[in-house]
Structure 1
Amino acid sequence: MGLHPEYESVRAALLHRSPLPSLVAAIQEILFEERRLGINLSKHSDAVLASTYSPPGASSTFCKNCKLTGHKFINCPKIECRYCHKSGHILDNCPIKPPRPRNYSTRAKNFTKPNNSSAATVAPDNSTTPQFQISDLQSLLNQLISSPSSALAVSPGNRWLLDSGCCNHMTSNYSLMNTPSPTKSLPPIYATDGNCMNITHTGTINTPSLNLPHTYCVPNLTFNLVSVGQLCDLRLTVSFSSNGCQVQDPQTGQTIGTGRKVGRLFELLSLQVPSPSISAPVTDSDTYQWHLRLGHASPEKLRHLISINNLNSITKFVLFNCLNCKLAKQPALSFSKSTSICDKPFDLIHSDIWGPAPTTTVHGYRYYVLFIDDFSRFTWIYFLKHRSELSHTYIEFANMIRTQFSCPIKTLRTDNSFEYKDSTLLSFLSQQGTLVQRSYPHTSQQNGRAERKHHHILDSVRALLLSASCPEKFWGEAALTSVYTINRLPSFVLQNISPFEKLYGTPPNYSNLKVFGCACFVLLHPHEHTKLEPRARLCCFIGYGTEHKGFRCWDPLSNRLRISRHVTFWEHTMFSRLSSFHTFFSSPQSFFTDTSIDLFPLPESTPDNELAQSALTSPTSDQSSISDGNLDPSPDIPPRRSTRVRAPPSHLQDYHCFSTIVSLIEPTSYQEASTDPLWQKAMNDELQALEKTHTWDYVDLPPGKRPIGCKWIYKIKTHSDGTIERYKARLVAKGYSQEFGIDYEETFAPVARMTSVRSLLAVAAAKQWPLLQMDVKNAFLNGTLSEEVYMKPPPDTSSPPHKVCLLRRALYGLKQAPRAWFATFSSTITQLGFTSSPHDTSLFTRHTPQGIVLLLLYVDDMIITGNDPQAISDLQHYLGQHFEMKDLGSLNYFLGLEVSRRSDGYLLSQAKYTSDLLARSGITDSNTASTPLDPNVHLTPYDGVPLEDVSLYRQLVGSLIYLTVTRPDIAYAVHIVSQFMAAPRTIHFTAVLRILRYVKGTLGHGLQFSSQSSLVLSGYSDADWAGDPTDRRSTTGYCFYLGDSLISWRSKKQSVVSRSSTESEYRALADATAELLWLRWLLADMGVPQQGPTLLHCDNRSAIQIAHNDVFHERESMYLSL
């Protein structure tokens, strides 16, 4: 059976429609075409479904298109193709039409081929069909519709019907749901007949053809219903027609669901609802991007994360290929699986050391140790410089576990390496009750869990370094990132949950993960740029902050690590691919302050001057900063520079080694220092000094007594020019565990005032006396103790077992040690005829017939001067007899103060201390400031935002306070910022950085003590009035000169509120007078008495009149009471 050739266009349109229309719709379109052509079936024998019968023996063919003979319909030159609209062929023979689908057939379905002789050929497929009439076909169609065909019947329970009157997707089949959740809080469902049906479960329908989230399970429901309203809430488009229905995503234009019309109902055949967060098509690049973000995670783990909707941006896994994974993760044969299973955290900890690495990290590490919890598989990684640091590291780890999780470690499983047999570690494990399980020698498979974790981490490290094109020096940063991501990846051993969730009980957050080594932009602090300079800095992302909530980014321009949360990422662009920024690496600079690295290789053909010029030139527009690799071949012509050789300032000639001092590393533990021969020698020297002075006796600990601990402190002593003087190791007692009244009483010990130091230098310079310096080795060990103090023996010393040290000498670290040393020194030097000054107890004087000798003591450092050379020599000899002294010669470096001898006197400065402070604060590359404070800014406690970490602010202000010893020009500014130490804010921190930038520009400033100066004391006093807008209190300021030499100054807020400027000035005069009297007495002790009254200057006439006149009235009574 077939259609008449005149209906070829309708037939072709029906067959090429996707999806194919129903039989009812096809018949309706054919009838419509018949009415259009006006064919009368009763008058013509070639009706719609008639056969094109040719009688036998016919000599010519008849064309039904042009009504001519001699050719067939398919060869008619007047026929027009309804696909390409060209003449000479029909649609089936169109040369440009796409081919038909496989297994396609034009034979009518559900019809049996009759065995009669009236079969005819229907163009163009030459199939034989019987002759039917329209009435016959219509009756056949009615039979098909009324018969219970499997293709058209809607049986309850196995079909889904679209319902616009249904509020939610519903099903009665509980087994169709994926992870159903029982519920009792939802209201019942009411049917049209008034019956009530309860909802028992909610879940997601996830079958090969349907994906319906948020579906109700209603057991009494007859048919499965799909809510049209719920689909519209997902912003999907549902369209209905006589051919069926379609569900489309309007954002992508894709058809995500289809249905057919069954009578007057619409049955949903397939539907895949996209994720509500995004409806974009999934590509392999999206999946690959998450593969990079998760540290080159395996496809299996990515597929699981996508299936549980943890990665909201994608809903479908697309297979990808990663060349770096293939290169870095080539597998070997695996060991047999471990059978140990723990049911509680920290019942079993696996541990192993890896190393040495072929390249040290940027911090100087060559090893790392892993601690793996067998219960949760959570991994902790610690880096080591030497394998001997394992004991200290494990103790730190165990204490952290006990503090954070309130759970001790029950069993430690390790290999048979000697580091795990250290006596310190074994003693600690025994005290904690931790069992130790070791593998047999050369049988690493017995510690397979740790060995496999090494394999996993190093695979990830290699992949990260390869993909980011980072040098091997960054393997430590890559390892930290690997462990961070591994702890957050699902584990098949843990039923596809992550170690993080297993340990902490909450799923990890993947939203902060970024691609290792990608380009990023870090927001600069306000003090790091001007209003016209860029607000961000291009950096390289290298990991996640461990102690700070932020990202670890390397700044190539300032050569330092930045940890910030204000970071924008270019995850599709690796930092190493930005060829336009290779100029940042023109010279190997320091990544961190303690090491020097060269991150990325530079083109060898690039001249140094071009690199320097391009690194210092800022782009003029955003388009010129980064491009696709095509840069302007004609660089800007640099301005002409003077060719005259510039000599450095003379006051900076001795500071060429400052940058190297910053990179010196001092050990922080005994384990670290014990592997270095230089520090071993320093510790042996200290122990010999302790034995020489008979510092302790080994005794049994008396009942009721508790010994204190001890530790080693390491310090690199340097000269004033920054060169290394010696390595100093000192054994100190842990005096913080002493108890008052039991093992100590009084603790006060005097030290020299800095005003006394400056006064002594001014007197020596004016009188041209020599300045000598001596140092007492192990000074505190000369002090004797009157209390019983017991201490644990130092580590790795040949002490008798079960003995403690009864201290005989004042060991460093004891609370009473400074007092005991000063008492011993005072009693010793007074036997030579010296007396202690009542105005500064640390100043000792001796008058001889030839002159005077002065000694100023600051703990164990002393300055000696005077005009009697023989008496000075006798003093040095006498001190050498009673103490182990070190003669340092002429004074040049004292307590961080640099004393430079000149022809016209002495220069006192702190240039080295200032350079170290600038390097520590990280502003060595910042611009300088012309003044310490901005005169237009008045700081208050409420301005700005509170600092999250106040430690840096307090450290910097404390360092600036000591810097005022030689820098009176910053005294007032430091006095201002020190008022906010309790709760500093961002604007206060900006003020501190401005002081540092001013100090940077005045690095060589200091105090000049002239040899031509007189020894007449004079002073200046001043005060503001209500200078603090918060509490309305005034600030006192004064300074005193000894001739031309500045020896004393102060800036201090007054303790009470002054009601007038006269009152504030008078209070400043009172404070200055007190300082003046003390200076006169101190100078008299130094042999420089003041012959007449001292002139004190004041710029307030009212205050001067009140000070001069004895008569006063009621308004002035309170001033004179001062």
Structure 2
Amino acid sequence: MDLMGPSRTKSLGGKWYILVVVDDFSRFIWIELLREKSDACDLIKSLCKRLSNELNLKVSRMRSDHGKEFENFNLESFYMDEGILHEFSSPITPQQNGMVERKDRVLQDMARAMPHGNGLALHFWGEAINIACHIINRVYLRPKIDQIPYEIRKGKKPTVKYFRVFGKSVNVVINDVVSEGENVENCDRMDDQNGDLIRSSDPTELPLSESFLRIPETPEKETHPQDRDKNPKEPSSRVKSNHPKDNIIGDLDKGMRLRKRVLNNLAYTSYVSQVEPKKVEEALSDECWFPHYVYKLHKALYGLKQATRAWYERLTSYLEEHGFSRGSADRTLFIRDIEKTITIAQIYVNDIIFGSPIESLAYEFIECLKQEFEMSMVGELSYFLGLQVKQIEDGLFISQSKYAKDLVKRFGLDSKKHTRTPMSTSLKLGRDPSGKSVDPSLYRSIIGSLLYLIATRPDITFSVGVCAGFQADPKESHLNSVRRIIRYVSGTVDLGIFYSRDSNLDLAGYSDVDWAGNADDRKKYVWGLFLHG
């Protein structure tokens, strides 16, 4: 068990603290809202007695920290009379009471997210945490057992048909009649222990907030024609889809006349074509490309706008004729599969990177291209677009050490002290509206440089992604965070990705998610790591 609080805002029932008790076997959770810490003693006693009556079993052991609400004479005497062993975690070691500490975190995150997502006031946190506990007991699976806590404790599966979205409007029925002006004194609420409906005489303990009560709408007064003249309506600010004809300029029978049509007419008058022909046939058929004659291009010159497109189309058709298939995701990747042996070619403008497990197939690809195109061999791949490639017997090592050193030097952090982690583990970045603004161009330049570096540095991917979300209005705190990433890169410039030759072809994925991790909008962060080989 553990005690959370005090909360910054008083709950709807005037409570400040939350007592959390977790069953070690079923992971079933009980929570109680307290006004003072001293109320925990009586609530723990009543909970132990209630569990003994319900299960016909005695509570054998309780575990908590050394808080005075748990370590006092009244509770110790009660434990001695009931034969309960009270265990304490070591000071400043919450890990020894880790089960309830994790439940505290989950309950807090869910209770923060639900009111924020529905725009409710902060004093509804008590209702939110009650509903979060109710959901966890009936939805979350017990590890290694694949049963929910409610099913383990009750021996039957609960019904969740009554579950509704938090904040949704509902009707509270009192004596089957909802009348206007009637006080809500005795309402039904959900008991988290057995899922039944019980009577509550305290309106402050109601799990439904006032915003959930649907107030009957009063009928509008009838308006007479003479009253309309007295209170003329103000003009509406909404744009209507159907405009009256007297507001339309021009003749509706002539159809729409766009600005592009006017521009085309002007272009035809000046004998200039607005659309550049992509092929010789289109230029010949376009009478406005040249008024009387067109020069036919026999050979495309390097540097023309259409030279790259023509080169890709020509190379693609040639490779497809020789058994290569074009990639669906990457249209510049070509693969040929012959007898379970592949040859891969990657095109980047007029550079081609290719490879094959069999050396003879690689030389065959070279001869195939030389028959059609004028090409020159550079040699074994070692450096390309800032990527340093080192081919060894065990595998392939790709890094960007030279680019990383230039990046650190370009932003003037080569003489700064290195950091061991790319981001602080205790600091959560937010919009920081009260922070000092910095130069957006400098911030975006750093982010762009780091985004190119993450191609071979997955260890900084998450940190760079978080900082990239503040490019619209960067503050000094955000600039310090990206500088910390660069200082981390400065001490790890030689890191990269190693592809082993002995690895398998299995795809393994790992993911993690938190509750309301974003300090601004309480959205969650999702992490993913996928390994191939």
Short-chain TM bin: 0.3 to 0.5
TM-score when normalising by structure 1: 0.22
- Relative contact order (alpha carbons < 8 A, sep ≥ 6): 1 or 2 greater? 2
Greater fraction strand: 1
Larger Cα-atom Rg: 1
Greater fraction helix: 2
